[in-house]
Every structure is written in structure tokens, then in C-alpha cells.
Structure 1
Amino acid sequence: MNTNYWSWDRLTEAFPFVLEGIGMTIAVTFATFLFALIFGFVWLFLRRIPNRSLNWFVTWIMEFIRSTPPLVQLFFLYFAWPVIPYVGVTLSAFTCAVVGLGIHFSTYIGEIYRSGIESVEKGQWEAATALNFSIRDKWLKIILPQAIPPTIPMLGNYFIILFKEVPITSTIGVQGILYMANTFGARNWAYIEALTIVGLILLALSYPSALCIRKLEVKMNTRFNNNANKKTNKGVTSQ
């Protein structure tokens, strides 16, 4: 049978088959993003330790992770990790996907956190110290509530990027939409229709999300500009 042509019948047949993987794709995306959000704080606090050697080492590790393709990292976790002597731990495809992509994206998210913290005015740090806040209260009540909101639009952008990267986990057996598309193509010797469906699904989910992130970014920028103007006007009035 010649399958080197477009077939609307195959497209109709492939759509429900590929759609079976949408749940797994979404689950991996949210689990990975949650892991990256949490692990991003690990990089943040490691880099804030006042030790030049440790800072250099942590920075080098982060650069190495960012400079290495996530596909290679997934392959290492899934294929190389079980054969490392004395480890004796075998990770499932889902776990490898979450940990591999999660660590990769956490290096970017850690930098986002750092930029947010550095945007907090120096006077806020000094006020927390003057009021004798504990380290926990200083971070949870003073620093993070001011540092996190400005980073939300950037975090949203990385969430969308992560969603579009998740299909590569099909290479280690995660049964998402790309895995189902490849399976359909292998069974029917026809890939174009199934892969087209994957592209349309990614577009249908990521494009509206990108529009929402843009609106959120405009809203956050407007709010911060208004707050800054209020502080400026208050300072002028007090003078």
C-alpha cells in the first residue's frame, strides 16, 4: 500500500489514537514544572552561600546542564544510570522525564528567582534586619512576596517552552502524544498525519497560553509601575 500521500481518512483514524497520549503529556508537563520550581530554589540558595569556591562550582554545574541538550540528559538518566556500579536504582520513564527535564529547567528558573530577589530594594533587607526578623520570616514575609510576583510572566514563558519540550520524552518510552504518533506511524507505515496532529495539539494548547502570559505580563508591569509612581509621589509629598 502506498502511504506516501496525504490521507484525510488516516488523519481521522490517527486523531483519537494520538489524543490518548495528551493526558500523559500534560501530567509530565505539570509534574516537571513543579519539580523545576522547587529545585530552582536549591540553585538559588546554593549560589547565595558566601563561599567563592562553592559558588564557582555551582555556577559551573548550572552552565554545564544548560549547555547540554536535554535529550542527552534524559538518555543518561534512563540508559546509563541503571548500569552505574553500586547505585542499584532503576528509574521509570516517567520519573526520568520529570527529573531530567526538571533539573534542566530548574537552572533557568533559579536564575529567574535570583533576578527577582536582586530587584528587591536594599532598604527592605535592612528593614528586616533592623526589625530582628528571623531568617525564615525575612524570606517568607519580606523578600519572597516582593521577589516572586515580577517573575511570574518569565516563569509562564518557561512553562510554555517546557510543554513543547516534553514530547522528546517519547524517546525513553513516555507514552505522550509524540510516542502515540510514532506508534501509529509504525503500525500503518504513515507518519505525516499523526505528526501533524501532534503539531496542531501543541499549537492549540501553547498559543492561547502564550497570549495569556502576555496579558499577565502587561498587567503585572502596569501594577508595578503604578506602585512605583505611588512611592515616588509619596516621597515628593513628604519632602
Structure 2
Amino acid sequence: MNWSWDTTWDVLPVLLQGFKITLLVTVIGSAIAVALGLVVAVILRSGFRPVTYPLSFLFTFIRSTPLVVQLTVIYVGIPTLKPLYIGIIVIGIHYATYMSESYRAGIDSVPIPQWEACTALSLPAHRKWIDVILPQAIRNVVPALGNNIVAMFKDTPFLSVITVTEMVRAAQVYGSDNFRYMEAFTLAGLIFLAASYPVSVLLRRLEAHLARY
């Protein structure tokens, strides 16, 4: 099948419309994942077993099962909720499990004397975390958080299984309607590359910058 530039210009607006959904899911899902992951990491650090044990099991279970399975189960189980909302919530919680591990590693990397100094100064728990521990921990995990967001962006096509018309789903629909798949999927891949590659480069530079401090 030869490449058709007429098809290329015809499918591009369709893909850009799907890209808006992809971007929306990534932005809101990332906000959920970043915030929830931090809360869970702090809770797990508390050592209160009646809470940490079931929460740790739940997050391990979510992290160990495929995203597409989680999307399908929630989509079938809660048919009254809009597919887009399901996609945002599920992908946000799914990646919160990875974010929490990144935060945990960052918290563990804070030197022990910092913890001891907080105890010696009798700092309240909220001041210890907000003023001392979290600023150091988050600085150490910013590159990892960024990589997780890029991974989430590339996983948004899974939302097509619950009928969310993100960019790849838009390419698939266009291809089936017009019997022209090559242009649609090639352009979708190039848009993904154009959006994610600059972010990856910036993350590498940020990691190198933070390593100097």
C-alpha cells in the first residue's frame, strides 16, 4: 500500500482530537498518581500495621495485575460511570502504586542524622515531614516520577478497551472506516514520539542537574 498524503492530511485532525483526550487523561491521571502515591508512601512509613498491611497488599495487587484487566473490570462493574472517568481514575490509581515506590525510595534516601535531628528538636510530625523529609525526598525522585508520567502517557491506548477514543483508538476507527491504516497509525506513533521524546530529554538533564547537589 502506497503512502497517501491526501489521507495524511485527512486523518491528522482526527488524531489531534484524540490526542486531546490522551493529554487530558495523562494530566489528570498524573495529578492523581503523584498526590495519592505521596500520601500512601507517608502512610506506609508510619508503621501502623492495621493500616499499612492492607494498604500495602492492595497496592501490590494493583501493581501486579495488568492495567487492561483493571480497566475492563471497573468498566463492567460500574457501567453507570463514564468510560473517560473510569480511564482517568484507574490509570491514576495504577500509576500511584509505582509513584509510591519512588517516594518510598526517596524517603529512605534521606540521611538518618536528618531523622535524628528532627527527633532531637522535638519537631511535630507535620513539620518534620513538610520542612525536612519531603523536600529532600522529592528532589531525589523527580526523575523517577517524570519517567512514570511518560510511561502513563504511552499506556493511554489501553483505554480503547473501554471505548475511550484517545489517539490510537481514533486511528483504529479511521483505518476501519476508510481502509487506510498505515497513515493513521504512523502519524499516531510520530505524535507520541514528538510529545514524549522532548520530555525524556528534559528528564535526563534534570537528573544530571540534581545529581550535582
Q: Same fold (TM over 0.5)?
A: yes
Q: Equivalent residue for 2:14?
A: 17
Q: Equivalent residue for 1:39?
A: 36
> Could you say what the CA RMSD is over the residues aligned between the two structures, in angstroms?
1.7
Distance verdict in 2 for CA 1:145–1:49, change over 3 Å: closer
Q: Equivalent residue for 2:120?
A: 130
Identity %: 39
**Structure 1 residue 41, shift from structure 2 partner:** 2.3
**Structure 1 residue 142, shift from structure 2 partner:** 0.9
Q: Equivalent residue for 1:149?
A: 139
Residues in 1 aligned to 2:74 and 2:68: alpha-carbon distance in whole angstroms? 10
**Structure 1 residue 141, shift from structure 2 partner:** 0.6
Q: Equivalent residue for 2:162?
A: 172
**Structure 1 residue 173, shift from structure 2 partner:** 2.4
Residues in 1 aligned to 2:48 and 2:15: alpha-carbon distance in whole angstroms? 50
SS of equivalent residue, structure 2 residue 78: helix
Q: Which of these two proteins has the greater Rg computed from alpha carbons?
A: 1
Query: 1:216 is aligned with what amino acid?
Result: L
Q: Equivalent residue for 2:182?
A: 192
SS of equivalent residue, structure 2 residue 116: helix
Normalised by the size of structure 1, how large is the TM-score? 0.83
Q: Which runs of 5+ in 1 are unaligned?
A: 83-89, 224-239
Is 1:121 matched up with 2:111?
yes
* CA displacement, residues 14-63 of structure 1 (integer Å, 9 cap, x when unaligned): 11221112222111101000000111023213322424565443333222
Normalised by the size of structure 2, how large is the TM-score? 0.92
SS of equivalent residue, structure 1 residue 48: helix
Residues in 1 aligned to 2:49 and 2:125: alpha-carbon distance in whole angstroms? 22
**Structure 1 residue 219, shift from structure 2 partner:** 0.6
Aligned length: 213
